[in-house]
Amino acid sequence: MATIQSFLMKKPNSAGLFPIAIRITKDRRSSYLFTGQYIEIKFWDDKYKRVKKSHPNSKRLNNLVAKKIAEANDRLIDSENQATSQSAKKIKKKIIGKTKMGFFEASELFLSNLLKRKKFNQHYNQEKRLDIFKTFLGSKKLSFTDLDVTLLKDFKAHLLYERKVAERTAINYLLLIRTIYNFARKEYHVDDRNYPFGKGKIRIKFPESEKIGLNREEVQLLETAEELTPAQKHAVNTWLMSFYYAGIRVADVLQLKWSDFIDNRLYYRMGKNKKLVSLANPEKVEKILDYYAAKRKKKDDLIFHYLEGTNLKDEKRLATRIKTINRNLNRRLEIVAEKVGIEKKLSMHIARHSFGNISGDKIPIQMLQKLYRHSSITTTVNYQSNFMHKETDDALEKVVNF
């Protein structure tokens, strides 16, 4: 038998108010209805699942919620009298049909789900993009029927020509809007008569991205760089550590501990997909480890100092700190690049591109897949194609060199 109960969602909106929702549970699976009402958390009685009397509109809100629950129960009884068993989602669909939920109400729920899944960086980035969309609209209200092709084309033009973002960045905004729209269609059955995406409408197609890494000579300039400040030296060592291990992501480099190095090998679990990785220590890594060995006190100490004092188990706080550290590292790397005469953009992420650029077509693609820690070899082929130029260069040479 299914149950229906009101509850207060844990993710507040931009005003710090929490949404009142209704949970439908059947066979230990839940689906949710959005009431459109928000209150401060102090006004919610979690024991009795209702708004406290201390709220100035408690009677009206409780009556509204009670009415919705009563309507839901009536339709639930009708659905359970049918011969076929139905899931919580199907029962929900029968109860509400098409909901009047707006785009930004759906976006709050979407962002809340990101937090539940501990996608903190993604949550931060998507929340900022939605704030920019609100600013463009000049409103925090938007119905799905008003979210049409014309509006999205105007928004894209605003991003490209007023905010001066790159084409790929503009597409990321549209992709977020489509993701939230599809989320609301699937979970809350919103009115999608004017669905603006698809053939003949708004198409989500990313332009090819340019990936340029350093060459051997430029990496050697970093390895032999002199007259650097301590902060710049640490930034270079962090970059080189990433490069020497085939482009380990900055979040993983910053969390490397002495205990991760056993018998001249690195053992670590990737933060992105939790894969366990083991790689032999290149000789050049030993020089970096020697540089920091004097400050080592315990085997669980971090190699680099950036995250000292940060609770590594607090994933949200950790993600915020890593974002700030990465930004500071990139600033210092830009200064170093200018000092040593590297004209290409230099950032922590470029360490991965640099490994790809130097490896080119010299290493079998299956081995590169292991080094990059890709789940699919197709991902490796697509990534490495940015750096494999020998065949096209030879073909061009044969034609024009006469």
Note if the pTM is more than 0.75.
Answer: no
pLDDT reported for residue 193: 81
Which carries the bigger pLDDT value, residue 95 or residue 319? 319
- CA distance linking residue 139 with residue 114, whole number of Å: 24
Which carries the bigger pLDDT value, residue 313 or residue 83? 313
Which carries the bigger pLDDT value, residue 369 or residue 330? 330
pLDDT reported for residue 75: 64
Query: What homologous superfamily does CATH list for 216-358?
Result: Intergrase catalytic core (1.10.443.10)
- CA distance linking residue 259 with residue 203, whole number of Å: 48
* Max CA separation in the chain (angstroms): 90
For residue range 136-188, list pLDDT tens digits in order.
999 888 999 899 999 999 999 999 999 999 898 999 999 999 999 998 888 77
Say which residue the tokens 């040479």 belong to: 397
**What is the 3-state secondary structure of 123-148?**
HHHHHHHHHHHHHHHCCCCCCHHHCC
In the structure encoding, which two tokens stand for residue 291, read together?
Answer: 């540089």
pLDDT reported for residue 170: 93
- Using alpha carbons, list the distances in angstroms from residue 335 to 215, 236, 263, 291: 19, 11, 36, 22
pLDDT reported for residue 87: 60
- CA distance linking residue 374 with residue 393, whole number of Å: 27
Cβ(162)–Cβ(154) below 8 Å: no
pLDDT band for position 383 (cuts 50, 70, 90): low
